[in-house]
């Protein structure tokens, strides 16, 4: 096949067994979100570029990885690289903040995201992300609820051996003091730092700590840590977060270098990684609080907190941990048609489908033996056998594949008989 007709690099096809597995994961996520009171929101796959490219954003996502294009109306649009900003844009545009009694607004999303980066295990240029956002309230207990939901979903998927890394970036006053301390500290080292770090030094020196190139440089070991620059309000807030995690029995490790990869975070930030994780792509879920994002989009100074979870990554991890197994396709009934019976086979098939049964039939005029093999492959619980005699008498031969019992019924008795077999009454 010519290369132009093959998958673009960094993308995947999902076939039948893959899709069944993904649906299972998506259903688990939806059930857990419903338990915690989060409603699904669906936003466009592309937005105006300004939604994602906010002022002075120094993240790699914005500066290097976005798929942006100009439409026929000369507007700059971008395929969404992450879910939070589109959700906040929708929150503000639809005035979900209108009734304070309904805050925090608790939302979740699932869908494809797009980033131009080097494909590797668990990371693609088109990837799928699940995420939650709790918008309109600031409370240490809400921060912990968000983390608890991520832990709950991970456990439902069989991913239990997690380490929660947590840090605080403090409020604006604390961050300003810390930024200045980092600028002062790293300034003598600028000539030996990578180009990205030199740019981050100008725009947001906290992002230097997230560098993948210079992270092992000796100067990083002695860099200032956030906790030494927190004001009393930020310290008290973080202490309450840690106390609530202790009360829920959620173990954690305070990571002074954790700043997260996006520039809009404040206060609580976190990552959940497997205890034996290796490498940079190990996070099961990760996120944090953001104080200025709603205001940026015109919704006023409302706080928010959320996390993102890469579905490709967690599905792979869940399979490796044995908590997620591929489900083979199984059907309720298979209709075998023999001889010249016209549309009678299709009529019976449709009757079963209309009654709510998962039903298949043959359209290739294969032999009786081949059709039985097809029913075995599809793990049919009932086989309906039709020949010229059955078509003439408006009857059907029913075979219970579990008991091997076989008998003839009238067409009008077919649905009730199949239902009894599937219920185990026959």
From 285, 320, 355, the end of a domain falls on: 320
Within a domain: residue 203?
A: no
Q: Cis (ω within 30 of 0) for the bond into 104?
A: yes
CATH for 296: 3.30.930.10
- Reading the block at residue 219, the tokens are 């100067």
Query: Is the CB of residue 96 less than 8 Å from the CB of residue 105?
Result: yes
Instruction: Looking at the structure, tell me whether residues 243 and 349 fall in a common domain.
Output: no
The per-residue pLDDT for 331 is: 96
The per-residue pLDDT for 291 is: 86
Q: Which residues of the chain have pLDDT under 50?
A: 280
Instruction: Looking at the structure, tell me whether residues 371 and 245 fall in a common domain.
Output: no
SS3 content of the chain, % helix, strand, coil (to 5): 40, 20, 35
From 320, 352, 372, the end of a domain falls on: 320
Within a domain: residue 239?
A: yes
pTM: predicted TM-score of the whole model, two decimal places: 0.87
398: enclosing H helix or E strand: strand 395-400
User: β-strand 285-290 against 359-361: which pairing, if any?
Assistant: unpaired
Closest to 329 in 3D by CA, of 351, 363, 358: 358
Task: State the Cα torsion 86-88-93-96 to the nearest 10°.
Answer: 140
Instruction: Looking at the structure, tell me whether residues 27 and 82 fall in a common domain.
Output: yes
CA–CA dist 307, 286 (Å, integer): 5
Within a domain: residue 181?
A: no
- For 42, other C-beta atoms within 10 Å of its C-beta total 11
Give residue 165's domain range. 3-171+231-320
Instruction: Looking at the structure, tell me whether residues 12 and 45 fall in a common domain.
Output: yes
Instruction: Looking at the structure, tell me whether residues 337 and 303 fall in a common domain.
Output: no
The per-residue pLDDT for 50 is: 94
Instruction: Looking at the structure, tell me whether residues 259 and 150 fall in a common domain.
Output: yes
Instruction: Looking at the structure, tell me whether residues 79 and 139 fall in a common domain.
Output: yes
Instruction: Looking at the structure, tell me whether residues 316 and 347 fall in a common domain.
Output: no
What are the tens digits of pLDDT across the range 195-208? 888 888 887 888 78
The per-residue pLDDT for 90 is: 98
Task: List CB contacts of 193: < 8 A, sequence separation 6 or more.
Answer: 186, 201, 208, 211, 214, 217
Within a domain: residue 17?
A: yes
What's the domain count of the chain? 2
Sheet strands side by side (includes 76-79):
46-48, 76-79, 68-70
């Amino acid at each position: 096949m010519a290369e132009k007709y093959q998958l673009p690099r960094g993308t995947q096809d999902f076939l039948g067994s893959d899709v069944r597995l993904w649906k299972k994961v998506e259903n688990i996520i939806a059930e857990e979100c419903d338990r915690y009171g989060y409603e699904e929101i669906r936003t466009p796959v592309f937005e105006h570029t300004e939604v994602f490219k906010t002022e002075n954003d120094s993240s790699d996502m914005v500066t290097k990885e976005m798929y942006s294009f100009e439409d026929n109306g000369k507007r700059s649009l971008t395929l969404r690289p992450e879910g939070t900003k589109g959700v906040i844009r929708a929150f503000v545009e639809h005035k979900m903040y209108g009734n304070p009694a309904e805050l925090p607004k608790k939302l979740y999303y699932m869908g494809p995201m797009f980033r131009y980066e080097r494909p590797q295990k668990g990371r693609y240029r088109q990837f799928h992300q699940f995420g939650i956002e709790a918008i309109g309230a600031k409370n240490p207990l809400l921060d912990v609820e968000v983390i608890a939901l991520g832990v709950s979903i991970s456990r439902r998927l069989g991913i239990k051996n997690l380490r929660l890394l947590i840090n605080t970036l403090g409020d604006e006053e604390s961050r300003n003091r810390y930024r200045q301390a980092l600028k002062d500290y790293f300034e003598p080292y600028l000539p030996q730092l990578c180009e990205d770090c030199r740019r981050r030094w100008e725009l947001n020196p906290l992002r230097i700590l997230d560098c993948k190139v210079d992270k092992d440089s000796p100067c990083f070991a002695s860099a200032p840590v956030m906790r030494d620059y927190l004001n009393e309000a930020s310290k008290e807030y973080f202490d309450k977060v840690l106390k609530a995690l202790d009360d829920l029995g959620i173990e954690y490790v305070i990571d002074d270098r954790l700043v997260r990869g996006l520039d809009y975070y404040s206060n609580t930030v976190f990552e959940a990684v497997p205890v034996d994780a290796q490498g940079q792509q190990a996070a099961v879920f990760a996120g944090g609080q953001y104080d200025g994002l709603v205001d940026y989009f015109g919704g006023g100074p409302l706080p928010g907190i959320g996390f993102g979870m890469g579905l490709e990554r967690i599905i792979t991890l869940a399979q490796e941990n044995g908590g997620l197994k591929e489900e083979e396709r199984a059907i309720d009934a298979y209709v075998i048609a023999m001889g010249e019976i016209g549309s009678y086979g299709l009529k019976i098939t449709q009757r079963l489908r209309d009654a709510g049964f998962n039903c298949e039939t043959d359209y290739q005029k294969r032999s009786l033996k081949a059709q039985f093999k097809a029913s075995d492959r599809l793990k049919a619980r009932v086989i309906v056998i039709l020949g010229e005699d059955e078509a003439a008498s408006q009857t059907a031969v029913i075979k219970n594949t579990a008991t091997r019992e076989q008998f003839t019924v009238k067409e009008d008795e077919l649905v009730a008989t199949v239902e009894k077999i599937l219920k185990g009454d026959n």
